[in-house]
Amino acid sequence: MSMWSQETQNRAKEIISRYPEKRSAVMPLLYLAMAEEGHLTDEGMEEVADWVDLTPAQVRSVASFYTMYKRERTGQYLVSCCTSISCMLLGGDDVLHAIEDESGVPHGETDAEGLLSVEHVECIGACGGAVAVQVNYELIEGVTPEKARELVRWLKKARPESVNTDEMQELFGGVKSFDWGIKEEDAAVGPYPAFQPLGTIKSAGDS
Amino acid sequence: MGLLSELWRGLKVTGSTMLKTIGGSGLVTTEYPKEMRHKPQRFHGRHVLNRYPDGMEKCIGCQLCAGACPADCIYVRGKENDPESPVSPGERYGYVYEINMLRCIFCGLCVEACPTEAITMTHLFEMSTTNRQDAIYTRKELLMDESGKVPHMFPDDELADLDELNTADGWLRATAPSGVAAYEGVQMWQGTPGAASWDPEPSQEERDRASEGDDG
Amino acid sequence: MSEPVTIKVDGKEFEVRPGELLIKAAEDHGTYIPRFCWHNRMKPVGMCRMCLVEVDTGRGPMMVTACTNEVVDGMTVDTQNEAVQKAQEAVLEFLLANHPLDCPVCDKGGECPLQDQAMAYGPGESRFVEIKRTFEKPIPISELVLLDRERCILCARCTRFSEEISGDPLIEFQDRGNKTEVNTFPDHPFSSYFSGNTVQICPVGALTAKPYRFRARPWDLHMVESSSFFDTAHPRLSIHVSQNEILRLVGIDSEPVNHSWLSDKDRFGFEHVRSENRLDTPLVRRGGELEPVSWSEALDMVGNRLGLIVEESGGDSIAVIGGASGTNEDAYALSRFARTVLQTNNVDATMGEGPSAHFLAASIDRGLIADVDDADTVLVWGPDLKETHPTLYLRVRRAAQELGVNLVVIHPRVTGLDDRATATLRYRPGGGHELLSDLSDGSHEQVTSLISGKVVAIVGQASLADDPGLAESVAAFVREKAGTPRIIPLANRANIYGALDMGLAPDLLPGRVAYGPEAAPEPWGEIPAKRGLDTPGMLDALSEEKIRAVLLVGADPVGNSHEPELASDALDLAEYVVSIDTFLNDSNHYADVILPAAGFSEKDGTITNLEGRVQKVNKIIPAPGQGRPDWSILDDLSTVMGKSMGLGSPETIAKEVAAVAPAYQGISWDLLEWDARDGAVVPLDGEQPLTHIPVRAKGTKAPSAELLLHQGRVMYDDGVRLRNCHYLSRLAPGPVAHIHPDEAKRLGAREGVAVRVVTSKGEGEFAARIDEGTPEGVVFVPLHQPGAARLGTDPVVRVTVVT
């Protein structure tokens, strides 16, 4: 008797079938539980525990170890600002302050409306393009405090259904670490990374 | 003859001392219960259980005093504090505390062992009782009241010297625990039992600073 | 076995087994390497870094953790040079960075590995002046265990224990980085049957036991070794006492038995010893009321009355029930008293439960607990070991999980071992014989194919609906399949195996000898020739008024009966009932005289566990009031009755047992106290005086109702000792009925609703538990629950929802 929707249950079955041992599926299933309810609830973790034959305590242990599993409600846009060494040297803290100031949301929190969440994160692997900021895990490099303010204003005003890294880079980004020369098609929906099995992806082809 | 002169020499001492005491100036004894001899400051007398200035008991019932006691005369039992109305700060308090004064050798090891300075000694040494039961001091007799007054076993006795009970044994630390000479002579104990009013012990940082200064 | 390798630790050279962990090899040869996370009975993790040593294997010295590195030939180890000392100091400084200094109020203070090792290896002072992290002070994570997260040093001993050893990982690390803590899932308490072990292995005071909280400090405890009376495997433990009061029990690492683990029932079940309900004076019923009398009055009264009855109607008119709750010495005294003084063979310690006495006492190829470690296959067809034999459960679990032993579990519903089983089979309650004949006819090939090679068969009565003789038939079947399997027959009741070895069964004499007047031990003289009755037989004879007097020794036929009215009516008809017991039990309503007995930790003696291992148990506190050991009561009674047994002391009884009981030859207290601290398996020479070859009984047909009742024991029930334990008595599940979700849907029952369970012998209301582990068509009701109706043994059942 699952509390999940049929679609999520089908996805869960499909994910579990990929692994020789059920418990290996705990991490993708946690994402599913998160997508199902918006964030990871105790009930969601118990549900995952049932699916993968672990105890809820073990599931919570995994869920609380990784910062990308949100155990509190997250806004539609999750703005993550890197404050690790490279970004910090190039003003990551100023960017974070600008984001906090413009959005009125201190880092680690979500606004009352449920639109914006702000967090500071450790290195997200874009040191060459410091300061790096992510919106729903879509990367923008070379962000300045001014650009960050613009970004927040844009999110608040335009409220795009999905966010795409190339689009935002063009609007708010600066120096890029590396140009792949390939256009990123996928855009992220909701406060999750663009990830096919979760249904949180919106490709350019979709309308 | 030698014998007579030796006898004379001996009796001379006896005689002169006798004459002195008749005069009253050379007395070596005192009229004890009426007259008290001065006791040194570190005299180890009867124990007392102290309180903090806010009235909380200092004893946490840890039984370290009982463990340190070489005469095995202390019996302590701890109990959990009711968070609503705690007896002592923290989780635990001493809900049974007994000292068998017939066994106690007044060595003061309990005072040294106590991690909260809950048990200290006073100058009172008169503890004679007419039965063995009375020689077992319980919390009722040992614990000071909230105003800092220490109960006497027989407070109505005309010979009871209540002042002695209110004089702490003046146990001083000659140096800081780590033996830093800079703190030699600094008093970390007060002269009377009760709420603490002496200087707090220096923090480790301060001590380090002091010892560095010492080295240089 | 591969060649031993030579290693050099601190300049000392010695040979060790290859593949052994360095920390263990060094310790075995006298070099202690400090540690927090490593535990002898668990896998290493290398979390605490305390065991850093400098190791040179030819590539120059390296700092490695001794607990995760195996010894190799030519290894040179330095455990205390300057670099190692510096590392140890640093590790301790970090461990103490967040550890509160509340040692004076901590239950671990004084016996704390962190305290001890900080003293021995620590830097003395810390450079960390910052404020330590704080958590809410102890939070209860179960009914028995408190967790103080401030004190935790994250060694993972408790979490590893619950995952690796007991198999119920209800506590885990939560969060990460400097916020990491051990905790349970919200509203999922750490309700493990083995939670007390985490308290024992916690190297700091993070996990403490509620029953011991603030009760004493280690320096005012004195202790003695003993064995638990709850579990028939008799795990070794140490009794810690202060001011004549047991404060806690700690498991002892006994290789052949319990590897230092105890179930919570074994660990916290001592609370009954100081219960205010203990009997402390002889009681005599006068005008319907029990009145205290002196020992001499009570003994005279009992002796004269029993003597009169023997004289008038002969020994056959006396029934002796019980005797499994005391030591072997008590049981021997009772056996001798019944046979020689009362002149009766109506003695039964099994109380009519479980397999036959011959099978339990003298089965051929009796297995040892340790046999499961090197078996090819372990077959468990009996009660849920997790509930009834927790020590054996942990051993079997380890064998299946760590040692690659095939495990076959056959039980009417899910058991604690199912998740580690190679194969499981379920059968309908009462259908055991049918399944057995199916198995011998070749069905369930994947299961029967496993029963070959070295097989250990752990057999017992799985369900009350099963024929008690099924266990013996299973053993016979395994013998057909696997030649010479090791057989461990299971029974409940504290010292049942010892009692049977002392002859407390109608057809047994001390030392595993078949009963016969010619086989009487020398000092006994003449014993009655007539075959005695077992407990159901005695109760029947009571109803027919063929038996006039009953002697109950630690026995409660009414409380244990599945049809209590039958037992109570029978006792009601008895002319004279004498009870020797530690508590007033349900049967004592019918007793004319009740004599207070000494119990666990109140008497010296020996006990025998399910593998035939004799262990010494020791006295450390006096019995309450005027309570006395059984043997001494019986000895005095025999004197009153003019046939003095002259037993003297438990040690002289033990000597007499060694002299007259063939299986116990060579067993002496000296041996058990010095050379065989873990106990000795009788017979010492391995030659059984009586070998019982299991026989296949003719099967009863399985009942064919739509819904069948499966009743089985669970760990916490309404036994008189558990009832008087402050903490454990709350853990009994109470009157519950487990139903499969689909079954529940059919019945219209939801979790927790009251259902009426009706059998031919009884009926009562139970709370429904929706449980996927119980198959469809089966209702599982735990036996002997407080407030639960007795349902009899007939498995045909009707269940309706109470509206």
Tens digits of residue pLDDT in C636-666: 999 999 999 999 999 999 999 999 999 999 9
Q: A71-75, A94-98, C268-272 — which is least confidently predicted?
A: A71-75
**What is the overall mean pLDDT for chain C?**
93
B175: pLDDT strictly greater than 50:
no
> Tokens 């076995």 identify what position?
C1
Kindly state whether residue A72 falls inside one of the protein's structural domains: no
Summarize the confidence of residues B24-30 as an average pLDDT.
75
CA angle at B98 for the pair B97 and B99, rounded to the nearest 5°:
135
Mean pLDDT along residues C394-413: 96
Residue where a domain stops, chosen among A38, A65, A92: A65
Residue of chain C minimizing CA distance to A54: C169
What are the tokens at B2? 């030698």
User: How many domains, in total, are found in chain A?
Assistant: 2
Chain C: residues touching B (Cβ < 8 Å): 102, 104-105, 109-110, 125-126, 129, 137-138, 213-217, 219-220
CA distance C66 to C75: 12
Cα(B46)–Cα(B127) distance, integer angstroms: 8
pLDDT beyond 90 at B39: no
A122 and A31 inside one domain: no
Closest to C172 (Cβ–Cβ): which among A46, A57, A67?
A57
Chain A interface disruption, residue of C158, C174, C770, most A CBs within 10 A: C174
Is residue A131 reached through a cis peptide bond, with omega within 30 degrees of 0 on the bond before it? yes
- Please compute the mean of the pLDDT values over residues A158-187 and round it to a whole number: 88
Give the CATH number, domain containing residue A14.
1.10.10.1590
Q: What is the pLDDT of residue A184?
A: 83
Supply the pLDDT for residue C1: 55
Higher per-residue confidence, A50 vs B173: A50
* B107 found inside a domain: yes
Closest partner residue to C175 (CB to CB) among A1, A58, A64 is: A64
Residue C777 CB contacts under 8 Å (≥ 6 apart), including other chains? C428, C706, C707, C708, C740, C743
Q: How far is the C-alpha of C459 from the C-alpha of C474, rounded, in Å?
A: 7
Is there a domain that residue A1 lies in? no
**Residue pairs spanning B and C at CB distance below 8 A:** 44
Question: Which residue of chain B is at minimal alpha-carbon distance from C124?
Answer: B178
Spell out the alpha helix ranges (H) of C65-134: 82-95, 113-121
Residue range C252-257: mean pLDDT, rounded: 94
Residue B216 pLDDT class (50, 70, 90 cuts): very low
Choose from A2, A55, A121, A122 for mutation: most chain C CBs within 10 A.
A55
* Per-residue tokens: C627: 């309570």
Which chain C positions have a beta carbon within 8 Å of A41's beta carbon?
A: none
Give the three-state DSSP class for C411: coil
Does one domain contain both A110 and A176? yes
* ipTM of the shown complex: 0.90
> With 60 as the cut, is the pLDDT of residue B213 above it?
no
Dig out the tokens for C339 from the structure. 């046979």
Chain A residues with CB inside 8 Å of C173's CB? 61, 65
CATH code for the structural domain at C708-801: 2.40.40.20
The A-side interface with C (CB below 8 A) comprises 1, 42, 45-46, 54-61, 64-67
C-beta neighbour count of C327 within 10 angstroms: 30
Q: How confident is the model at residue B186 (pLDDT cuts 50, 70, 90)?
A: low
In a domain, A131, yes or no: yes
Comparing CA positions, the residue from B144, B72, B172, B69 lying closest to residue B113 is B69
DSSP helix/strand/coil, B143: strand
Residue A181 lies in a domain: yes
**Residues in B touching C148 (Cβ below 8 Å):** none
The answer to whether residue C93 scores a pLDDT higher than 60 is yes
Inter-residue contact C47 to C37 (CB < 8 Å): yes
Q: Nearest by CB to B62, from C104, C126, C215: name it.
A: C104
Q: Kindly list the residues from chain A whose CB atom is less than 8 angstroms away from the CB atom of residue C171.
A: 57
Q: Is the pLDDT of residue C154 over 60?
A: yes
Is residue C263 predicted with pLDDT exceeding 90?
Answer: yes
Residue B124 belongs to some domain of the structure: yes
Closest-approach residue (CA) in chain C for B79? C214
Q: Same domain, yes or no, for A194 and A105? A: yes
User: Is A16 within a domain?
Assistant: yes
Average pLDDT rounded to a whole number, residues C476-502:
93
Residue B38: pLDDT band by 50, 70, 90 thresholds?
confident
Length of chain C: 803
For chain C, the structural domain boundaries read 5-95, 283-353+495-550+578-681, 358-489, 708-801
Interface residue B63 vs chain C (CB under 8 A): yes
Task: Check residue B215 and give its pLDDT.
Answer: 46
Residues A179 and A100 in one domain: yes
Partners of C206 on chain B (C-beta within 8 Å) are none
Q: What residues make up the domain containing A112?
A: 77-201
Tell me which of B74, B88, B91 to substitute to probe the interface with C (most C C-beta atoms closer than 10 Å): B91
Q: Tell me, what's the pLDDT at C327?
A: 96
Domain C283-353+495-550+578-681 has CATH 3.40.50.740: yes
* A-to-C residue pairs, Cβ atoms closer than 8 angstroms: 41
> Beta strands C377-381 and C455-459: pairing type?
parallel
* One domain for residues A189 and A129: yes
Q: For chain B, what is the mean pLDDT?
A: 80
CATH homologous superfamily, domain C358-489: Dimethylsulfoxide Reductase, domain 2 (3.40.228.10)
Percent of chain C with pLDDT over 70: 100
In a domain, A71, yes or no: no
CATH of domain C5-95: 3.10.20.740
Q: Do chains B and C touch (3 or more CB pairs under 8 A)?
A: yes
Tell whether B65 is covered by a domain: yes
Q: Do residues C23 and C51 touch, judged by C-beta distance below 8 A?
A: yes
Give a yes or no: residue B144 inside a domain: yes
Whether B74 is covered by a domain: the verdict is: yes
Structure tokens at C608: 């025998």
Give C36's Cβ-side CA count (13 Å radius): 28
Domain that holds residue B104: 47-150+164-169
How many Å lie between the alpha carbon of C176 and the closest alpha carbon of chain B?
A: 28
| Together in a domain, A89 and A190 | yes
Confidence category of residue B93, pLDDT binned at 50, 70, 90:
very high
Could C169 and A64 be called an inter-chain contact, meaning their C-beta atoms sit closer than 8 Å? no
Could you tell me if C650 and C329 are in contact, meaning their C-beta atoms sit under 8 angstroms apart? yes
Does B98 reside within a domain? yes
Closest chain B residue by Cα to residue C220: B67
The pLDDT value given to residue B179: 45
pLDDT at C275 over 70: yes
d(CA B134, CA C132): 46
Residue A128, domain CATH: 3.40.30.10
Measure the CA–CA gap between B155 and A190, rounded to whole angstroms.
79
Grouping H, G, I as helix, E, B as strand and the rest as coil, residue C453 is coil
Residue B127 lies in a domain: yes
Strands C76-78 and C52-56: antiparallel
Inter-chain touch C219–B63, beta carbons under 8 Å: yes
pLDDT in tens, A39-63: 899 999 999 999 999 999 999 999 9
Residues of C within 8 A of B67 (CB-CB) are 110, 217, 219-220
User: Contact A55/C174, CB-based, under 8 Å?
Assistant: no
Report the CATH number at residue B58. 3.30.70.3270
Q: How many domains would you assign to chain B? A: 1
Res. B211 pLDDT band, cuts 50 70 90: low
A105 occurs within a structural domain:
yes
B164 within 8 A of B124, measured Cβ to Cβ: yes
Q: How many CB atoms lie within 10 A of CB C772?
A: 11
Contact C105 B80 (CB under 8 A): no
B75 part of a folded domain: yes
The residue whose two tokens read 């844009």 is A154
Residue C498: is its pLDDT beyond 90? yes
Higher pLDDT among residues C240 and B208, named by residue: C240
The answer to whether C32 contacts chain A (CB < 8 Å) is no
